[in-house]
């Protein structure tokens, strides 16, 4: 049982009931109460990295995300934007999470076998044509990568340091995702 | 008696010294307390859909629905600080006018203040545009929240957004359906 609730058993269960019931109510309240009663959006400590050389965000750049946790479900919304002096790094872009996801869905480094957990869009500050939709995939139990829609000039399936877009200041990624966190209760 | 409650949900905890039976008018008894607790917990997992009337606009001149056309929406608060919802648009028949520019839809509930600080659009759902006159120009779109104008718009497959003339010039009997999910301030 997830919450270890006390079963009212025993030779004198009526006498023991108040204490057991109070214990059970406190456990239910502690698990469900904070997220069902009131639960503010929280800042997600997320990191952009890559398979070869880590990109840098530059001055004014940002990698911001928020999450909403309900029991073991995590809902996330994030935005990456490159600033002045950024470096694109090299390789497949990876978003590293600060927690582990339930890996039952089978994360994978091959995009076509990597479960989709969300969607989003590339932001090309210079062209609408560059603002292509992306899918958010579970690469490992604590990493996302992004699949990009086929388009002219695309050299790779995953969002990378280069390919269909030459990253510039003001460019970025907008995304959302939903995952099941590894149980902590 | 019966005044101890849990921290977050206010569930009534029976005190050790309490009797089982009621002692009115001050004490309701365990049965009534348990009933109250069960109703409180049960109520937390009920999500009611509400109707809302989305406002459909274009940034250079609003569209006009034709005969039988509609713009409808439904939403539910699935947790205290999150909304899930649907939008349907049917352009209608005679009298439909496309308007001019980028199409936008209003939200049912204000989005969380944190997401208004994003300086890029925020992806919040998916949608499908059905071109009634052609299969090949029907398409999927990403539902985006625009923090500047506080509206939803729709990112097309080719990077641009849904406009009066993209992916095709909107016409009578065309349709769009969308779902969205985003965080809000606590209800």
Helix (H, G, I), strand (E, B) or coil at A167: coil
pLDDT 10s digits, B146-166: 999 999 999 998 888 999 999
Chain A interface includes B121 (CB < 8 A): yes
Taking residues B48-67, report their average pLDDT. Answer: 95
Chain B interface includes A126 (CB < 8 A): no
Taken as a whole, chain B contains a residue count of 187
Do B183 and A174 make contact, defined as CB atoms within 8 angstroms?
A: no
Q: In what order do the strands lie in the sheet with B56-58?
A: B50-52, B70-79, B82-90, B175-183, B122-130, B139-146, B151-155, B103-105, B56-58
The interface residues of chain A toward chain B in range 17-76, judged by CB-CB distance below 8 A, are: 17-19, 21-22, 25-26, 28-30, 32-41, 43, 64, 66, 68, 70, 75
Helix axes B30-44, A13-37, angle to 10 degrees: 30
Contact residues, chain B, for A81 at CB < 8 Å: 119-120
Confidence of residue B28 (pLDDT cuts 50, 70, 90): confident
Round to whole Å and give the CA distance between B92 and B66: 4
Predicted pLDDT at B1:
47
Q: Which residues contact A166 (CB under 8 A, 6 or more apart)?
A: none
Q: What is the mean pLDDT of chain B?
A: 89
Predicted pLDDT at B123:
92
CA dihedral A152, A156, A160, A165 (to 10 degrees): -10
Confidence of residue A145 (pLDDT cuts 50, 70, 90): very high
The interface residues of chain A toward chain B in range 153-172, judged by CB-CB distance below 8 A, are: 172
Tokens of A29: 């309240």
Predicted pLDDT at A9:
65
Q: Which residue of A has its CA nearest to B9?
A: A33
Predicted pLDDT at A23:
84
How buried is A103 (Cβ within 10 angstroms: 0-12 exposed, 13-18 middle, 19+ buried)?
middle
CA dihedral B115, B120, B125, B126 (to 10 degrees): 170
Do A129 and B158 make contact, defined as CB atoms within 8 angstroms?
A: yes
Taking residues A137-164, report their average pLDDT. Answer: 84
Of A64, A120, A129, the CB nearest to B159: A129
Q: Which residues contact A7 (CB under 8 A, 6 or more apart)?
A: none
Predicted pLDDT at B187:
64
pLDDT 10s digits, A61-90: 999 999 988 888 899 999 999 999 999 999
Q: Which residues contact A73 (CB under 8 A, 6 or more apart)?
A: A178, A179, A180, A181
Predicted pLDDT at A59:
97
Predicted pLDDT at B128:
93
Round to whole Å and give the CA distance between A8 and A22: 12
Predicted pLDDT at A152:
59
% of chain A exceeding 90 in pLDDT: 54
Helix (H, G, I), strand (E, B) or coil at B98: coil
Tokens of A68: 């909403």
Predicted pLDDT at B2:
52
Predicted pLDDT at B88:
95
Candidate from A180-184, B172-176, B178-182 with smallest mean pLDDT:
A180-184
Round to whole Å and give the CA distance between A1 and B19: 30
Taking residues A136-152, report their average pLDDT. Answer: 88
Predicted pLDDT at A17:
77
Do B6 and A26 make contact, defined as CB atoms within 8 angstroms?
A: yes
Of the two residues A121 and A12, the one the predictor is more confident about is A121
**For residue A40, pLDDT beyond 50:** yes
**For residue B79, pLDDT beyond 60:** yes
Q: Which residue of B has its CA nearest to A42?
A: B114
Contact residues, chain A, for B7 at CB < 8 Å: 29-30, 33
How buried is A145 (Cβ within 10 angstroms: 0-12 exposed, 13-18 middle, 19+ buried)?
buried
Of the two residues B96 and B15, the one the predictor is more confident about is B96
**For residue B31, pLDDT beyond 70:** yes
Q: Is A60 left (phi over 0), alpha (psi -120 to 50) or beta?
A: left
Chain B: give the shortest CA distance to residue A120, in Å.
5
Look up residue A135 and give its DSSP letter.
Answer: E
Specify whether the CB–CB gap between A8 and B81 falls below 8 A. Answer: no
């Amino acid at each position: 049982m997830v919450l270890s609730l006390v079963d009212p058993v025993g030779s004198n269960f009526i006498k023991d009931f108040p204490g057991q019931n109070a214990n059970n109510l406190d456990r239910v309240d502690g698990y469900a109460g904070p997220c069902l009663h009131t639960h503010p959006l929280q800042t997600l400590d997320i990191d952009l990295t890559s398979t070869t050389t880590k990109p840098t965000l530059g001055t004014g750049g940002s990698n911001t995300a928020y999450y909403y946790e309900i029991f073991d479900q995590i809902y996330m919304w994030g935005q990456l934007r490159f600033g002045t002096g950024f470096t694109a790094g090299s390789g497949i872009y990876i978003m590293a999470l600060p927690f582990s996801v339930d890996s039952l869905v089978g994360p994978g480094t091959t995009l076509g076998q990597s479960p989709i957990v969300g969607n989003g869009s590339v932001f090309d500050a210079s062209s609408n044509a560059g603002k292509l939709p992306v899918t958010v995939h579970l690469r490992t139990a604590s990493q996302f990568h992004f699949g990009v829609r086929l388009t002219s000039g695309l050299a790779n399936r995953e969002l990378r340091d280069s390919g269909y877009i030459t990253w510039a200041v003001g460019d970025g990624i907008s995304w959302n995702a939903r995952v099941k966190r590894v149980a902590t209760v | 008696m019966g005044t101890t409650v849990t921290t977050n949900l206010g569930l009534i905890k029976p005190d050790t010294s309490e009797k089982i039976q009621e002692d009115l008018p001050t004490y309701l008894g365990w049965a009534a307390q348990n009933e109250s607790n069960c109703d409180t917990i049960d109520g937390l997992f009920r999500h009611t859909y509400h109707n809302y009337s989305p406002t459909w606009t274009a940034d250079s001149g609003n569209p006009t629905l034709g005969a039988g056309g509609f713009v409808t929406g439904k939403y539910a608060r699935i947790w205290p600080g999150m909304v899930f919802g649907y939008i349907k648009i049917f352009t209608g028949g005679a009298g439909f006018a496309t308007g001019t520019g980028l199409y936008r839809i209003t939200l049912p509930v204000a989005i969380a203040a944190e997401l208004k600080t994003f300086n890029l659009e925020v992806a919040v759902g998916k949608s499908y545009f059905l071109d009634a006159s052609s299969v090949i120009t029907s398409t999927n779109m990403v539902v985006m929240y625009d923090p500047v104008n506080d509206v939803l718009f729709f990112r097309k497959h080719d990077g641009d957004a849904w406009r009066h003339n993209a992916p095709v010039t909107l016409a009578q009997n065309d349709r769009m359906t969308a779902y969205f999910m985003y965080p809000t301030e606590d209800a």
